[in-house]
Amino acid sequence: MEKIRRTKIVDLLKREDYGSQVCVKGWVRTKRGSKAVNFIALNDGSTIKNVQVVADVEKFDPEMMKLITTGACLSVVGEMVQSIGSGQNVEVQASEIEVLGDCPADYPMQKKGQTMEYMRQHAHMRLRTNTFGAVFRIRHNMAIAIHKFFHDKGFYYFHTPLITASDCEGAGEMFQVTTKNLYDLKKDENGQIIYSDDFFGKMTSLTVSGQLEGELGATALGQIYTFGPTFRAENSNTPRHLAEFWMIEPEVCFIDLPDLMDLEEEFIKYCVQWALDNCQDDLEFLNKMIDNGLIERLKGVVSTDFVRLPYTEGIRILEDAVKNGRKFEFPVSWGCDLASEHERYLVEEHFKKPVIMIDYPKDIKAFYMKQNEDGKTVQGTDVLFPQIGEIIGGSVREESYEKLMKRIDEMNIPMKDMWWYLDTRKYGSCPHGGFGLGFERLILFVTGMQNIRDVIPFPRTPKTAEF
Ligand code: 4AD
Ligand code: MG
């Protein structure tokens, strides 16, 4: 018999050539029915939707039929027929069923309605559930949207190293990279570890940001973006922090703060609109099962103007709120780094829209940010989002060699590892700026998921690196 090529379920459900012979392959979601006829819901990951396979029991080997359980992998050949009861237009009247992989009863995704924590403990199998299928199809779509946005605007995708000898954010939250024998570390007379015989001949770590190298790219190619993994050894056990996350970092020459904010706003709106246009089925599922306000919130963001708020003004609003009886866990006053509860108050309660906060006190921001005339603040910009808090962090960069050097001195940043970065300010320095979007925080927003561990396939957090 002529081999029938497999049709992906996403394609099959769009077809109308009823009567054709088709082949579908996928995993059993449910099986129900009577002694005479079984209905098998099959999913192959190409869409949130299942196709219904109808099997007249007497036509098949009873031993084989017993192997068709939730999670089993099947290949089915049959006639594509119009369906009335399955929720789709199409179903498959099976003539041949082959069990490609059976699935014993201890399959961890056997039961519906497990907690998210249970899912994380079975992260290798949770991918096969409806929820995680939807999340990771959306994640893919967001990656495509990001490349398309920047490519269409003439940005170049620029690859920055993951292993580095410098600490971009200066927070000391880096994972070391070494081939040294940790049981036998050689130290000098001051008790300092000797790195000259290590693989790179110096102390190296996994990068916390591609920005510094990105600035080199931008000051040559005009405008670039990076999109890659970044690593932070911060011991934050929150629903918004990962030790390994993906960041998108555009860097643009000849840009000022207002234009930078425009770019941030346009970029996020583009991504959210892309999801609304291209991920409808998955969003509808998540809207129904995870977060009833999701689609409305996404539509709200694309149609609203983001607030632009100087830090000093934001602090005033928060102080007024405290005066009027609003309780926060952390105190708030000029100079403090805003806690997530403060950011969310501004966004969710006060303005009820996304906020781009600017002009932060220099002491709570990184060394590279452009200093304002007041001597106290810098041209940093954080985009604050409902549910998420900070989704973007960026700035105009200090382009003056002298001012930058002075700041590096004040902050005691080790200079010897930074000489190549300073060359951007020495040779043909130019005004420039950029930002970093936390990819998983965008996915959190777009999917309505509550915990960042559930929007990356295999999360890395303190004490977790199982899968
Ligand atoms: O604000 P951050 O630290 O800024 C930078 O790294 C700059 N070098 C970016 C730039 O200007 N090119 O981080 C940027 C974004 C944050 O706004 C947040 O969305 C995300 O990265 N982020 C994290 N996401 C998940 N887990 C973590 N531990 C994160 N830390 C930062
Ligand atoms: Mg930040």
In this predicted model, what pLDDT tens digit does every residue of 185-208 receive, in sequence order? 999 999 999 999 999 999 999 999
pLDDT at 1: 57
What is the tens place of the pLDDT at every residue in 301-318?
A: 999 999 999 999 999 999
Q: By alpha-carbon position, which residue is closest to atom 1 of ligand 1?
A: 393
CA-wise closest residue to 298 among 138, 98, 182: 138
Confidence at residue 209, expressed as pLDDT on a 0 to 100 scale: 97
What are 150-180's pLDDT values in tens digits? 999 999 999 999 999 988 888 779 999 999 9
Q: Which atom of ligand 1 is nearest to the CA of 243?
A: 28
pLDDT confidence of residue 117:
96
State the pTM of this model: 0.96
Nearest CA to ligand 1 atom 9: 436
- Ligand 1 atom nearest the C-alpha of 241 is 26
Q: Which atom of ligand 1 is nearest to the CA of 250?
A: 12
* Ligand 1 pocket test target in 441, 449, 454, 461 with most atoms within 8 Å of CB: 441
Burial of 2 (C-beta count, 10 Å sphere; 0-12/13-18/19+): exposed
236 C-alpha to ligand 1 centroid (Å): 14
Write down the pLDDT at residue 292.
97
Share of the chain above pLDDT 90, in %: 92
- β-partners of residue 440 are none
Residue 103 to residues 70, 74, 185, 452, Cα–Cα distance (Å): 7, 11, 49, 30
Q: Ligand 1 site: residues with CB under 6 angstroms?
A: 168-169, 209, 211, 232, 234, 241-242, 245, 247, 249, 390-395, 434-436, 438, 440-441
Spacing, Cα 278 to ligand 1 middle (Å): 26
* pLDDT tens by residue, 380-389: 999 999 989 9
Q: What would the mean pLDDT of 107-114 be, rounded to a whole number? A: 91
Q: Ligand 1 centroid vs 252 CA: distance in angstroms?
A: 17
State which ligand 1 atom lies nearest to the alpha carbon of 394: 11
* 454: DSSP letter: G
Q: Which ligand is nearest to the CA of 337?
A: 2
Q: Which atom of ligand 1 is nearest to the CA of 168?
A: 8
Q: How far is the CA of 324 from the centre of ligand 2 (A)?
A: 29
When pLDDT is cut at 50, 70 and 90, the band that residue 460 belongs to is very high
Residue from 146, 247, 337, 464 whose mutation best tests the ligand 1 pocket (most atoms within 8 A of CB) = 247
> What is the C-alpha separation between 202 and 205, in angstroms, rounded?
10
Two structure tokens written together for 121? 């403990």
Backbone angles phi, psi at 138, to 5 degrees: -65, -40
- C-alpha to C-alpha distance for 110 and 45, rounded to whole angstroms: 17
CA of 382 to the centre of ligand 1 (A): 10
Give the CB-side neighbour count of residue 211, counting CA atoms within 13 A: 23
Q: Which residues contact 417 (CB under 8 A, 6 or more apart)?
A: 165, 166, 202
Element of type H or E holding 389: strand 389-396
Q: Which residues surround ligand 2, an ion (CB under 5 A)?
A: 393
Q: Give the ligand 1 atom nearest the CA of 452.
A: 25
Phi, psi of 131 (to 5 degrees): -60, -50
Q: Answer yes or no: is pLDDT of 41 > 90.
A: yes
